[in-house]
Amino acid sequence: MAEPRIWTAALIVIGDEILSGRTQDANLAYLAKWLNIQGIQLAEARVVADQMGAIVAAVNACRAQYDYVFTTGGIGPTHDDISVDAVAEALGVPVVLHPEAEAMLRQYYGDRITEARLRMARVPGGADLIENPVSGAPGIRIGNVFMLAGVPKITQGMLAGLDGKLEGGLPVLDRTVGAWVPESSVSDLLIAVEREKPGIQIGSYPFWREGRIGANFVIRSREQTALDDAAARLMDALSAAGHDPLDGAI
């Protein structure tokens, strides 16, 4: 049986405000889960400054390496919004005014339209629009690059419009087994289960809570049967070793 094709994506978060620590990114986790539902794996994320060279380099590295590239941020109306110019530069195309985006903005703003607001109709030449159900300015798709807004509510609205529209494969399923045990006590056991059960991976995530040490073991697979099988095997192994596993995260 041929291995199923794995579809991959990268996220490029564009924004000085994330790199300065002023703003906590909230798009990575949301996009990761959304992508997984589409059967696409978020394989890498980068956070880059609002600088032409940095954005161009990240876009070109990622679009060559992954099936899809998503960018968030920098598509607003102000001088620090340079994502459109940077993606156009990366792709070697001019920046053009998209007639449909212009019409959308003119309708959204009415007589409050300004030159600054019309900046949001600028796209890399050849791009299509991504619907924005929340505010006026659309997202942008060109080739395998998807440019989304940085404000999470708007980002999520744009993703909703892409539901089911991107080709993907099987989503990664996961099950978590928790135990009040230091992960270092059971590392051999984890290796044994992972080796014994093909097609699964186990991640170990220790924590320290209310004065007690524990760990959640997250089993991931693209096949439900393999997942359930491995979870049962891990629970047995933990029980046999005298720990008291929980079927689910602690």
By CB under 8 A, name the binding residues for its own copies: 16-25, 28-33, 36, 42-50, 54, 76-80, 114-117, 119-120, 135, 151, 153, 172, 174, 183-185, 187-188, 190-191, 194, 201-208, 218, 220
| CB of 50 vs its own copies, minimal distance in Å | 7
CB closer to its own copies out of 94 and 205 = 205
8 Å CB contact between 170 and 4: yes
| CB of 66 vs its own copies, minimal distance in Å | 12
CB closer to its own copies out of 50 and 142 = 50
| CB of 126 vs its own copies, minimal distance in Å | 25
CB closer to its own copies out of 126 and 152 = 152
CB closer to its own copies out of 128 and 184 = 184
DSSP character string of 183-203: GGGSHHHHHHHHHHSTT-EEE
CB closer to its own copies out of 29 and 103 = 29
Q: Is 28 exposed, middle or buried (0-12, 13-18, 19+ CB in 10 A)?
A: middle
| CB of 92 vs its own copies, minimal distance in Å | 22
Helix, strand or coil for residue 222? coil
- Measured between alpha carbons, how far is 230 from 221 in angstroms, rounded to an integer? 10
Contacts of 200 (CB under 8 A, 6+ apart): 194, 219, 220, 221, 226, 227, 230
Give kind and range of the element (H or E) at residue 3: none
- Measured between alpha carbons, how far is 145 from 97 in angstroms, rounded to an integer? 18
- Measured between alpha carbons, how far is 138 from 149 in angstroms, rounded to an integer? 8
- Measured between alpha carbons, how far is 189 from 92 in angstroms, rounded to an integer? 52
| CB of 77 vs its own copies, minimal distance in Å | 4
CB closer to its own copies out of 44 and 93 = 44
> Token pair of 158, please?
């744009």
| CB of 220 vs its own copies, minimal distance in Å | 8
